[in-house]
Structure 1
Amino acid sequence: MTATDPPRAPPPVTTRNAVVFLAVIAGGATLKWMQDILTPLALAVFLAVMIDSFARVLTMRTPGFPRKLALPTAVVLSLALFGVSVWIVVVNSKTFFDHSSEYVASLNAIIAKFTPLASRLFPGLQLHGVPTIGDLAKLWNLQSYIGDVAQSFKNFGTSAVLVLIYLGFILASRKGFGRKIVALFPHHAERESNMNMFQRIRDGVEQYLWIQTVTGLMIAVAAWVVMMLVRLDNAFFWAFLIFLAAYLPIIGGAIGCFLPPLFALVQFPDSLWPAIILFAALQGIFFVVGNVIYPRMQGDSLNMDPTVILLSLAVWGALWGVPGMFLSTPLTVAAMVILAQFEGSRWIAILLSEDGDPQGAGGKGGHGPAPDSSPARRTPRKK
């Protein structure tokens, strides 16, 4: 193109949006194809952000805490929390298996109670006598499912090792991040704009962790109180599982609240009332937290549409399985912030946001400045 040639006209909006749409599809196919490589890396980056946030909280909330010791302390505390979590699961699993014979007897009693009802509801179901849990296990070929579960745990162990390796290298190379940013963006205005973008992504991940932790604790503590009143065995263990399940946005707490009532059927085979009371109370707790408290915290902090959170849960779950569901909200927040930086993809970011302002120019939720300030000069809200 010479100096005398007229400038090229920008592509039509339809063409530009079609290219963005095809790029999204190609990106999704690539993410699915590279699942085994990218999933541990994404989890490691998420943990690195969490540990970095923990370190900054130590320096800001603890007067006189040495800055150089903040990151090592955060790493040690994070590993300690992980070890305590594993210990809780192992100890309570041992207690569960120690009482497995009693639970098998209760299951057989429940099966015997409901076998006549099943025969009336399903006339074509041919039952020779009263089946036991062992007969049903053979009928449904549960051994194959147990094998799949064992393989899943093996894959989880391998992925955990990769995540820890990635995490170690990410934490070791974090000191050079600032120099890389300077080299990538030599102009001050461009560098500051991109640093603000990274800051918004980090704020979104931290807010997500804060929201899921607080709401998960609310559900778990209230569930523990109800389970103690009903005298359910291993109440602390079930409350802990509910807390962990709450990190799956929207559906995690609901799924976790189904497990204790099912266990109550096994522990109290002579009465349905403990299971009914547990189910009604736990679902009531989840409904209040999930539909009153959680949307308000999420809307005021993440600037993410609740429908988008549910859709992202399904999309990332289809791409990366359970790790994708766990990372769905942080990944969507990052995608929204990045897409908002480009004219051709800003419309996608607007649809993903709650208030139509993905860059936070209106100052909602702490992700943007006041209406009369510059995006490049904004100061992140203190948590």
Structure 2
Amino acid sequence: MPASTPAFGESPVARNAIVILAVIAGGATLYFLAPILTPLALAMFLAVMIDGFARVLQHRLPHVSKTAALPLAVTISLVLFGGTAVFVAMNGAAFIGQLVAYGPKLDAVIAQLATMAGVKDPPTVVSLIKGLDASKYLGLAARAVQDFASTALFVLVYLAFILVSRKGWERKAIGLFPHREERQEAVTAFLRIRGGVERYLFVQTVTGLMVAILSFIAMFAVGLHDSLFWAFLIFLAVYIPVAGGVFAGVAPPLFALVQFDGYGHAVVLFIALQAVGVIIGNVVYPRMQGRSLNIDPVMVLLSLAFWSAIWGLTGAFLSTPLTVMVMVILAQFDGSRWISVILSADGDPQQLKNKMPNEPPDEADPPPAKGPLAKVMRRRPKAA
């Protein structure tokens, strides 16, 4: 008897084709809805950061109760963000003015590079600026400032509503997953996403501070102007995979080449910053990161390109945690698990490799649910 032909939805080829089309449609939707979704994504990751910070405060400070931990974390976070905004406002104008003062030195560097390249009449900085459409770029800059202000406002509004509506998600989880097994799988996936994002933010923040402090020491030692502001820019750049490290190691030496006569200061600074990047990136970062993310390095580059193309600078900052979230979610479904396997570093996106019965869980395994999550997993829906 001939084997029955599988239905269209049951065919592996058709199922994979549907998944690929869904990914393309999802990417297009994310691109066109970027003005709405980027503030929401930023607010969600800020909420995860604040929630993790609140649990750290509750654990480290015995006198801080569970009720007071979240307001305290929100207050400290707002103070830090406000202080950062004041620092940028106070130092940004001076930093840009210093760059403008480098005009004659930039002309000399351009002339040297043009001579090496065989160009007879090298352009000057002034001629390059005059060749630009000033009104066009001023309009773009004004629009960018306006978009940043509106985005920051929406992020704060979204963040406030997310923090206020936290308890409502418990009842929603019970309604979405009435069976305890399904609810437990959903909570486990959520814990893995939350743990990966929190781990990523913690490691990037600590290593970013280390890179920024060591870079500041090197820049201050050679006498680079605005060393503190450069350190701040390096700290922010570390959150962008690959590109942030290139900026941290290359941009300050380039401006040292303009600021100082000769190449000595720039070469010394370049060697020092490269040493900082190699030590932090190859020794400290892997030890802190461990297996918590489990993303293939090639996929990190591709995710950076993908999310940057869709959401711009916001996508570049959030590319790695967004990929972690996508990988964990896709691993929950048979039709999309192969994409999750490709994204993972070891082919095991859920990190459920066989272990001995008495083997303790590794750092990448999600911790057992506690508090509200444990109640959600145990609670049963009310009978109709």
TM bucket normalised to smaller: 0.7 to 0.9
RMSD of aligned C-alpha atoms? 2.6
Change (3 A) 1:233 1:105: closer
Q: Equivalent residues in 2 for 1:307-318 (5 A)?
A: 307-318=298-309
Alpha-carbon contact 2:248-2:273 (below 8 Å) kept: no
Alpha-carbon contact 1:104-1:133 (below 8 Å) kept: no
Alpha-carbon contact 1:295-1:306 (below 8 Å) kept: no
Alpha-carbon contact 1:55-1:74 (below 8 Å) kept: yes
Output the CA distance in 2 between the equivalents of 1:117 and 1:360. Answer: 51
SS of equivalent residue, structure 1 residue 257: helix
1:252-311 C-alpha deviation (Å, 9 max, x unpaired)? 13213332223223322x222112221222123223323443345444221111221111
Which residue of 2 is the match for residue 54 of structure 1?
A: 53
Which residue of 1 is the match for residue 223 of structure 2?
A: 231
- Shift of residue 194, structure 1, vs aligned partner: 0.7
Output the CA distance in 2 between the equivalents of 1:174 and 1:68. Answer: 13
Change (3 A) 1:72 1:310: same
Alpha-carbon contact 2:191-2:366 (below 8 Å) kept: no
Output the CA distance in 1 between the equivalents of 2:316 and 2:112. Answer: 40
Q: Which moved more, 1:293-302 or 1:227-236?
A: 293-302
Output the CA distance in 2 between the equivalents of 1:138 and 1:247. Answer: 35
- Out of 182, 185, 188, the residue aligned to residue 193 of structure 1 is 185
Output the CA distance in 1 between the equivalents of 2:202 and 2:62. Answer: 22
Which residue of 2 is the match for residue 121 of structure 1?
A: 117
- Out of 232, 251, 256, the residue aligned to residue 248 of structure 2 is 256
Output the CA distance in 2 between the equivalents of 1:292 and 1:120. Answer: 38
Alpha-carbon contact 1:211-1:294 (below 8 Å) kept: yes
Output the CA distance in 1 between the equivalents of 2:194 and 2:112. Answer: 57
Which residue of 2 is the match for residue 347 of structure 1?
A: 338
- Shift of residue 353, structure 1, vs aligned partner: 1.3
Output the CA distance in 1 between the equivalents of 2:282 and 2:303. Answer: 18
Structure 1 unaligned regions, length at least 5 = 1-5, 371-375, 377-383
Output the CA distance in 2 between the equivalents of 1:7 and 1:63. Answer: 64
Aligned length: 359
Alpha-carbon contact 1:185-1:191 (below 8 Å) kept: yes
SS of equivalent residue, structure 2 residue 291: helix
- Out of 365, 368, 372, the residue aligned to residue 367 of structure 1 is 365
Q: Does 1:277 align with 2:265?
A: no
SS of equivalent residue, structure 1 residue 355: coil
- Shift of residue 365, structure 1, vs aligned partner: 3.9
- Out of 152, 165, 171, the residue aligned to residue 160 of structure 1 is 152
Which residue of 1 is the match for residue 349 of structure 2?
A: 358
SS of equivalent residue, structure 2 residue 44: helix
Output the CA distance in 2 between the equivalents of 1:329 and 1:116. Answer: 40
- Shift of residue 143, structure 1, vs aligned partner: 5.7
Q: Does 1:294 align with 2:285?
A: yes
1:194-250 C-alpha deviation (Å, 9 max, x unpaired)? 111111111111011011112212211111111121021221211111011111122
Output the CA distance in 1 between the equivalents of 2:23 and 2:328. Answer: 15
Change (3 A) 1:52 1:143: same
Scaled by the length of structure 2, what TM-score is found?
Answer: 0.85
Change (3 A) 1:336 1:112: closer
Could you tell me which amino acid in structure 1 is paired with residue 247 of structure 2?
Answer: I
Which residue of 2 is the match for residue 324 of structure 1?
A: 315
Output the CA distance in 2 between the equivalents of 1:40 and 1:284. Answer: 36
Change (3 A) 1:149 1:261: farther
